[in-house]
């Protein structure tokens, strides 16, 4: 539980604090699935993370009536969203679904 504590603290701080100098590695496309009622990492944190990615290809999808454990609280909605994400990845690589 206490392994890599310093690194975890830095990651959490980067997620919570809007730091213009913070630079995340470039990823072709990032999908964020977020519980609208998450009290641990609020929607404000999600929007902040999306802004910090800055590439314009980041997709943030909020799931209603879900908190931090969205995959447990709303499994069918979560799975549907995940399936949609995976389908777009396959389509982007020329695979027919």
pLDDT in tens, the chain (97 residues): 567 777 777 777 776 666 666 555 555 788 999 999 999 999 999 999 898 887 678 899 999 999 999 999 999 999 999 999 888 877 766 665 5
Provide the domain count of the chain.
1
Pick the closest to residue 57 from 79, 27, 77 (CA basis): 27
φ and ψ of 61, to 5 deg: -115, 120
Helices (H), 1-97: 5-16, 43-53, 70-73, 75-92
Which pLDDT value is given to residue 65?
Answer: 97
- Asked, for residue 97, whether it belongs to a domain, the answer is no
Per-residue pLDDT, 18: 62
Q: Report the distance separating Cα 53 and Cα 24, nearest Å.
A: 7
Q: What is the CATH number of the domain that holds 15?
A: 3.40.50.1820
Q: What is the pLDDT of residue 90?
A: 76
Q: Give the pLDDT confidence score for residue 80 in this predicted structure.
A: 97
* Residue 74 domain boundaries: 5-92
């Amino acid at each position: 539980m206490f392994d890599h504590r310093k690194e975890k603290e830095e990651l959490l701080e980067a997620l919570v604090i809007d730091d213009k100098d913070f630079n995340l590695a470039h990823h072709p496309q990032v999908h964020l699935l977020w519980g609208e009622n998450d009290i641990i990492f609020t929607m404000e944190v999600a929007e902040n993370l999306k802004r910090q990615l800055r590439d314009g290809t980041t997709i943030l999808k909020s799931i209603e009536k879900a908190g931090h454990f969205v995959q447990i609280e709303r499994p069918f909605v979560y799975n549907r969203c995940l399936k949609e994400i995976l389908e777009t990845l396959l389509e982007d690589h020329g695979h027919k679904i």
